[in-house]
Amino acid sequence: MGMTMTQKILAAHAGLEKVEAGQLIKCKLDMVLGNDVTTPVAIKEFQKAGFDSVFDKTKISMVMDHFTPNKDIKAAGQCKLCRDFANEKGIVNYFDVGDMGIEHALLPEKGLVAPGELVIGADSHTCTYGALGAFSTGVGSTDMAAGMATGEAWFKVPSAIKFNITGKLNEWVSGKDVILHIIGMIGVDGALYKSMEFVGDGIKNLSMDDRLAMANMAIEAGAKNGIFIVDEITKAYVSDKVNREYKVYEPDADAKYDAVYDIDLGKIKSTVAFPHLPENTRTIDEVGEVKIDQVVIGSCTNGRMEDLQVAAKILKGKHVAKNVRCIVIPATQKIYMQAMKEGLLEIFINAGCAVSTPTCGPCLGGHMGILAAGERAVATTNRNFVGRMGHPESEVYLASPAIAAASAITGKISDVSEVL
């Protein structure tokens, strides 16, 4: 029996010719990632274990993105701990205020992840880098500590589900809608500890930003990782970012999958996940009348350039509804700068939006847009659990940037056709 993409990457990094689902293996790591919430715990575990040096100063990334610019004294202390450790150990890829971005947008942008590489991160959405054909997965802070010291980690090889992508997306429909559709179809535990592998002729019709959004939310289906087959779009994306050799892995023709799903992009409609789970999805024509108080356009899922361009197209010349707050958060400084050069920030501000420096901010109830009791938000983020964005009696509706922008204008969850 052949191997999947994920199994091939794991086998190569374990120094093995072949691995099988369920096998326990130890692999060499290409990148170890942490943020300002998880890294302090890892540093303390690193010190407690008696480690005094990191395995490779170039293969560790620390991104201060969750509660930065620091929202309070505790957040400031966490960042200082990371900053001091990075300086002491000579960590090359340390990113702080003014030189940072949301981690899962920043690492691909900086060329710190390449096809065929193996990445662990002390953040569940580390699975984002599967869009580049890498194996990437979230781990706990203790595993991050061990990874920083040894450059290795243990894995149980996952089985896989294949998603055969065909067709082409309709106007105003994006990768966010595709992954919400898939999660609604298989459930939040539908891919539990499995690899979600995306292949098929329709992949060429998905932009890199679409793919990054889809891989980002693989964890919301319970997956160990999500991974896309590498094509010319992938290679073009990394060509000016990655200056090292990388290897492309394709699934064997006889690779074993627990299930195979055919996804016709042309049949996907704009999709909204209702509270309080990403699987609680409805297509835009099934939503009904849902008034909102806040819109958030940003996050590691949908704060990239295409996301801002789509939102700006819809908001241009219009204004956010009375009593609605719309917060736009470019995912990195580079994206912020490009949005400024293209005039997008002016469009957002003229429409009555607040534009923030890059930060995770409200996505995890951090800062920059916390909800009060009874308030509802449409967000391009990835989770809508109880209390995720503030008060336990608030509600979060997950949607694409297009639906978020249209909803900001009308004051209720709306299709783009209602405002254009």
Phi and psi angles of residue 261, each rounded to the nearest 5 degrees, phi first: -120, 135
Measured from the Cβ of residue 220, the count of other Cβ atoms closer than 10 Å reads: 28
Please name the residues in contact with 346: beta carbons below 8 A apart, sequence gap of 6 or more: none
Q: Domains in the chain: how many in total?
A: 2
Domain-terminating residue out of 215, 236, 265: 265
Model confidence, pTM: 0.95
Please name the residues in contact with 313: beta carbons below 8 A apart, sequence gap of 6 or more: none
Domain-terminating residue out of 222, 243, 265: 265
Between CA 409 and CA 128 the distance in angstroms is 30
Find the helix packing angle between 73-89 and 39-48, rounded to 10°.
Answer: 50
Query: Do 185 and 312 belong to one domain?
Result: no
Query: Do 277 and 239 belong to one domain?
Result: no
By residue range, what is the domain housing residue 370? 273-418
Domain-terminating residue out of 241, 265, 289: 265
Between CA 214 and CA 311 the distance in angstroms is 18
What is the pLDDT tens value at each position of the chain, 420 positions in all? 899 999 999 999 999 999 999 999 999 999 999 999 999 999 999 999 999 999 999 999 999 999 999 999 999 999 999 999 999 999 999 999 999 899 999 999 999 999 999 999 999 999 999 999 999 999 999 999 999 999 999 999 999 999 999 999 999 999 999 999 999 999 999 999 999 999 999 999 999 999 999 999 999 999 999 999 999 999 999 999 999 999 999 999 999 999 999 999 999 999 999 999 999 999 999 999 999 999 999 999 999 999 999 999 999 999 999 999 999 999 999 999 999 999 999 999 999 999 999 999 999 999 999 999 999 999 999 999 999 999 999 999 999 999 999 999 999 999 999 998
Residue in the block written with tokens 């610019």:
69
Alpha carbon distance, N-terminus to C-terminus of the chain: 52
Query: Is the link from the previous residue into 278 a cis peptide, with omega within 30 of 0?
Result: no
Query: Do 260 and 382 belong to one domain?
Result: no
At 19, list the tokens: 């691995």
Query: Do 147 and 99 belong to one domain?
Result: yes
Between CA 307 and CA 380 the distance in angstroms is 9
Query: Do 53 and 146 belong to one domain?
Result: yes
Helix, strand, or coil (residue 242): coil
Query: Do 250 and 305 belong to one domain?
Result: no
Query: Do 293 and 184 belong to one domain?
Result: no
